[in-house]
Amino acid sequence: MRHAIGTLLVLVVLVCTFPQACSAYSVLTHEQIVDLLWDEQIKPLLLQKYPGATADDLRVAHSYAYGGCLIQDMGYYPFGNRLFSDLVHYVRSGDFVQALLSEATDVNEYRSSVVPAVPAGELINAVVANELQDREQLRKWIYVIEKREGNQSLTEEQVETKNGPLYRVLARDGVPLTPDQRRQDNARIGRLLHDTGQQAKLKQQYDDDEQKLEKLMRVMPQAFLYDYDGVDGKFVRLKFRPDPSYQPPDYEARVVHSLAGTVLIDSQHQRLAKLSGQLINGVNFGFGILGHIDNGGTIEIGRVQVGPLQWKTALLNIQLSGRLIFFKTISKQQYEVRSNFRAVPGDLSLADANDLLVSPILHSPGPKPRHGDPATTAFNLPQESLPE
């Protein structure tokens, strides 16, 4: 027994004295992650982007994957630069991975760059946290809406206020309103400004829709399973599918849980750029007696950056069929594109918003922003910022 204890003490002293002898453990654990993900995730991703890759190509790519999973740690090895690894790990990891993906020229370079810095599920958690934090700020905006109503297209300008939104119709089917149509629209706004009951109903509808979108965000981490699916321009693409272990608490969560599709993530800011989902299963309510949603319906939500830390919904495309309306305050067929976002004071009343909508200053050309000015993003958002 005494000999065994002595041997154990010697081993402990050796490990503590020569810790570098154990550094290979870090390398092996990184390579094990590649091996575990190779058949189910990494190899299909390579064949999707490079369908002509042979078995020998994939074998070589496997070895490049080992290098790709270690490159962020190069600064922690002997003669390395710790600042490099600190930056790509904790500060600019999104920029680093995005650059590797966008500059890859063959299967090996692409393979060495697609080993994710974080699991897809953890990335979604960070994205949802940022989205919910942004929504808590309750900032108000004015923007232009292009929407479809039946066979007609409408162009509106809408202002968010503390009492709900107020909009003014600018054009129908691309044609500015006639004087008679303008008088009718002004009368509609006038009736709203003097009808507190209608104002309360309008605000409740707006709040309900916002809560539905927020609820969708909140269930995303629990309701779906996520896998990396490559890149789309400057965005990281993830595939999602229903998580069989998730138990939807209500009807709306059941509809959400029936979606499968893709999400595009701005990895630099960890924000949602676009969600595209399709109902892969029909949803019955009360065994179909209370209603149903048919499978095959689609939901698209696009988000764009309107300020340094602010993002807004710029695309809302809902095409559902069935006997029950998913968003109770909007139709099952809705298409809206929002653009030209500009910040307004958060304490605007509906009367203030009406004054703003008819103000000639609002519609006159403003000074051109300087290159690099934050106003370039917040006030003159290009439509191409929205991923297709």
Query: Pairing relation of β-strands 224-232 and 235-242?
Result: antiparallel
Does residue 3 lie in a domain region?
A: no
pLDDT at 138 over 90: no
Q: Give yes or no: residues 247 and 287 share one domain.
A: yes
CA distance 260 to 257: 8
Q: Give yes or no: residues 28 and 106 share one domain.
A: yes
Give 329's contacts (C-beta < 8 A, 6+ positions apart). Answer: 205, 206, 208, 209
The DSSP letter of residue 348 is -
Task: Give 370's pLDDT tier (boundaries 50, 70, 90).
Answer: very low
The DSSP letter of residue 346 is T
pLDDT tens-place string over residues 103-125: 666 655 555 555 455 678 888 99
| Mean of the per-residue pLDDT values of the chain | 75
The DSSP letter of residue 9 is H
Q: Give yes or no: residues 184 and 159 share one domain.
A: yes
pLDDT at 381 over 60: no
The winner for highest mean pLDDT among 164-173, 197-206, 222-231, 319-328 is 164-173
* Across 3-12, 29-38, 257-266, least confident range: 3-12
Q: Give yes or no: residues 199 and 141 share one domain.
A: yes
Query: What is the full DSSP assignment across 277-327?
Result: EEE-S-EEETTTTSEEE-TT-EEEEEEEE-SSS-EEEEEEEEE--BSS-SS
- Residue 239's H or E segment, with its range, is strand 235-242
Half-sphere exposure for 121 (CA within 13 Å, toward CB): 9
Q: Give yes or no: residues 198 and 338 share one domain.
A: yes
Q: Which of 90, 117, 144 is the last residue before a domain boundary?
A: 117
- Tokens read off for 187: 């009368």
Q: Give yes or no: residues 278 and 171 share one domain.
A: yes
The number of domains in the chain is 2
Q: Give yes or no: residues 79 and 221 share one domain.
A: no
- Kindly list the distances between the CA atom of residue 61 and the CA atoms of 68, 108, 112, in Å, as whole numbers in the listed order: 10, 5, 8
CA distance 63 to 59: 7
Half-sphere exposure for 277 (CA within 13 Å, toward CB): 24
Q: What is the pLDDT of residue 58?
A: 78
pLDDT tens-place string over residues 175-203: 999 999 999 999 999 999 999 888 888 88
pLDDT at 229 over 60: yes
pLDDT at 282 over 80: no
Q: Which of 76, 92, 117 is the last residue before a domain boundary?
A: 117
Q: What is the pLDDT of residue 368?
A: 37
Task: Give 4's pLDDT tier (boundaries 50, 70, 90).
Answer: low
Does residue 7 lie in a domain region?
A: no
Task: Give 379's pLDDT tier (boundaries 50, 70, 90).
Answer: very low
| Domain range for 57 | 16-117
Share of the chain above pLDDT 90, in %: 26
Q: Give yes or no: residues 148 and 278 share one domain.
A: yes
pLDDT at 333 over 70: yes
Task: Give 330's pLDDT tier (boundaries 50, 70, 90).
Answer: very low
The runs of H, that is alpha helices, within the chain are 2-17, 24-37, 43-49, 55-70, 82-86, 93-102, 107-113, 120-135, 179-193, 196-223, 251-257, 350-358, 360-363, 375-379
Does residue 376 lie in a domain region?
A: yes
Q: pTM value? A: 0.63
Of residues 145 and 232, the one with the higher pLDDT is 145
- Tokens read off for 122: 């953890």
Q: Give yes or no: residues 185 and 77 share one domain.
A: no
Q: Which of 117, 147, 165 is the last residue before a domain boundary?
A: 117
Q: Give yes or no: residues 242 and 96 share one domain.
A: no
Q: Give yes or no: residues 189 and 259 share one domain.
A: yes
Q: Give yes or no: residues 108 and 230 share one domain.
A: no
Does residue 325 lie in a domain region?
A: yes
Do the Cβ atoms of 216 and 240 come closer than 8 Å?
Answer: no
The mean pLDDT value for 151-173 works out to 92
CA distance 251 to 35: 40
